[in-house]
Structure 1
Amino acid sequence: MANRYIVDANVFVQGKNFHYDFSFCRGFWDWIEIGHEAGVIFSIRKVRDELLRGKKGDAAREWALAMPDSFFLDDVADLAVMKEYANVIQWAASNQHYKPQAKNDFADANRADAFLLACAKVHGYCIVTQEHHNPEKKVSIPIPTAAIALGNIPTRTIFETLRKHAVPTFMFKR
């Protein structure tokens, strides 16, 4: 399993909406930043773009704006990633299992999924996503399922990542 991670947008969006709301779980966001400073946790520019499409004042959007540029790795500007991105898109386009709309969504250049897979494969990252492997799914292409098909690119959930790299921090407040 890779020792460096790139994080999918759904971790940040679901995090701020549910488990890691900024009002009571700032420690999660600090953990991401500390992991980045340690050279372990990153994301990609396409994820940043997805987060910045949020409404002005959205906590994840504001957080993404405040993160250092080094957190969001180049994807489109990285020739090796773009070469692998073409392979990822070709795999999806030629796959007869998925419905046409799933393939179109996956190939949408505004979405980060295919870029995450390409970047992870080229640079040896593990993708952290809230998606799960589901080989029966036809209406969308889950990152973990694509990762297996593309050569066992490592994936894990944020909870698995936290179990490996976090310590308990919750404290009760009156």
Structure 2
Amino acid sequence: MPKPQDKYLFDSSVFIQAKNIHYRFGFCGGFWDWVKAGHGAGLFFSCKKVQAELNKGEDKDECKAWAKGLPTGFFVPDMADARVMQAYKDVIKWAEGSKHYLPAAKKEFAGADEADAFLVAVAKAHSYTIVSQELPNPEKKNRIPLPNAADEFKVKTIYVYDLLSKHAASTFQLKP
């Protein structure tokens, strides 16, 4: 069984960009199977807010259909978890109090339909590493990058390709 620091929490951007660009369902099913295998090994998860973001897709959206077919437990609770909600309050308080980010960036980050603040809160409350397509950008002011917010709370992030290097063979077979 993986150690707590070996649990990964996927951002929706990983799935959306994968289906639109690098790992389309028509020619790279291995990526999607790898994610499922990682969950089966107790490594890969996401949160309910990400599930909601994926469900916004059109009914014919392959990523939406794939997400609906994931095993129970892949999308961990966020709003229904008291520890997460306490961490979420801290994350939002930090964002609102930041003098670095523009008001529009703070408003977007705190939006009810946005998953980023919840990802940080879930990761903080339950020792996950966040998997994202985003890289830190300390100069950015008009948007709060997910890795920047995670850094504020000492939450680890990993770029999806670094996770692939760590936990996937060239055939997308899971390497625990």
**TM-score, normalised relative to structure 1:** 0.95
User: Which residue of the partner structure matches residue 23 of structure 1?
Assistant: 26
SS of 1:127's equivalent in the other structure is strand
- Where does structure 2 lack aligned partners over 5 or more consecutive residues? none
What is the Cα deviation at residue 148 of structure 1? Answer: 1.1
Is the Cα–Cα contact under 8 Å of residues 7 and 43 in structure 1 kept in the other structure? yes
Q: Which amino acid aligns with 1:87?
A: D
SS of 1:117's equivalent in the other structure is helix
Task: Map 1:81-100 onto structure 2 (within 5 A).
Answer: 81-100=84-103
Confirm whether residue 70 of structure 1 aligns to residue 93 of structure 2: no
Q: Which amino acid aligns with 2:77?
A: D
Aligned with residue 36 of structure 1, among 34, 39, 43? 39
- Where does structure 1 lack aligned partners over 5 or more consecutive residues? none
Task: Map 1:94-133 onto structure 2 (within 5 A).
Answer: 94-133=97-136
After TM superposition, the runs of 4+ consecutive aligned structure 1 residues lying more than 6 A away are none
Distance in 2 between the 1:2 and 1:162 partners?
17
**Percent of pairs identical after alignment?**
49
- Give the total of aligned pairs: 169
Is the Cα–Cα contact under 8 Å of residues 2 and 154 in structure 1 kept in the other structure? no
Confirm whether residue 168 of structure 1 aligns to residue 139 of structure 2: no
What is the Cα deviation at residue 147 of structure 1? Answer: 1.1
Question: RMSD over aligned Cα, in angstroms?
Answer: 1.1
Distance in 1 between the 2:5 and 2:141 partners?
28
